[in-house]
Amino acid sequence: MTGRLSIVGLGPGAAELITPLASETLAAATDLVGYGPYLARVAERSGQHRHASDNREELVRAKQALDLAASGRSVAVVSSGDPGVFAMASAVFEAIETGKPGWCDIEVTVVPGISAMLAAAARIGAPLGHDFCAISLSDNLKPWDVVLKRLEAAAAGDFIIVLYNPASKARPWQLGDALRLIARHRASSTPVIFAHAVSRPDERIDITTLADADPAQADMRTLIIIGSSATKLVACGKGKSFVYTPRHAELVAP
């Protein structure tokens, strides 16, 4: 008997940001597969099996989940944020495409989650109100030159730029290079948001500018939003401020 496989987004961290469908899917699974800290966010249910693995082994984990599903289990693979955004859903589909023929018969569903960029944007206003792009700064899975090429194009195209995976202990210098590249295309007063651990107890949101952005403030749990030429930081009195990008756009001279 062939089982089923769901790839479930857990959102950015807070329990109330998990969708009802995600909760239902997790509760119905016989087996949970995923990175240990993400599995720890899911309530324990007796009789349910947990298969924790290292964060770097995405394809191995996907194959393990597909083998379990092929043997008749009802498997949920967990992912932070949305499973389709720099996460496990692609690894599962890649494993199906290149793996065992029987895996095509498994019923696979993707259960969306609130991606970190949406949760971060909601905290400070509406910075993603116009055309934006999301770029992962991690060069574990792609050459750094590809990252630079995409950053250059996004900066020249005046997109709002969201940076996932901006820094880690193993990648300390990339963010500084990325910000300097973007600064060649944008005003030094462009709003920049450092959103750390959004919706977690240690959440910290810093609004700064391209001139003052300090790469050392970012780590693996930080997401960065760099405004376009239209993005505004508005002070609303009494220390209150918000960042938004208007719904209309004008042609900006290159």
Considering only CA atoms, which of 41, 33, 36 is closest in space to residue 12? 41
- Piece of the chain touching ligand SAH by CB under 6 A; list 16-24, 46-54, 220-228, 237-245: 220-228
Strands 232-235 and 241-244: antiparallel
CB atoms within 10 A of CB 46: 4
Give least dist CB 155 to ligand SAH, A: 19
Task: Please identify, using beta-carbon distances, which residue of 51 and 123 lies nearer to ligand SAH.
Answer: 123
Task: Please identify, using beta-carbon distances, which residue of 86 and 244 lies nearer to ligand SAH.
Answer: 86
- Piece of the chain touching ligand SAH by CB under 6 A; list 48-56, 65-73, 190-198, 233-241: 190-198
Binding mask 114-143 for ligand SAH (x = CB under 6 A): -xx---x-----------------------
**Contact of 161 with 226, CB cutoff 8 Å:** yes
- Dist CA 66 CA 61 (whole Å): 9
Quickly count helices (H) and strands (E) in the chain.
7, 13
34 interacts with ligand SAH by CB under 6 A: no
Give least dist CB 117 to ligand SAH, A: 7
- Dist CA 191 CA 234 (whole Å): 10
Rule CB under 6 A: choose which of 4, 7, 8, 12 binds ligand SAH.
12
Rule CB under 6 A: choose which of 6, 25, 165, 245 binds ligand SAH.
165
Give least dist CB 238 to ligand SAH, A: 27
75 interacts with ligand SAH by CB under 6 A: no
Strand boundaries in 61-143, DSSP class E: 74-79, 107-111, 125-126, 132-136
Q: Note the residues at the interface with ligand SAH (CB under 6 A).
A: 12-13, 79-82, 85-87, 115-116, 120, 164-166, 195, 197-200, 220-223
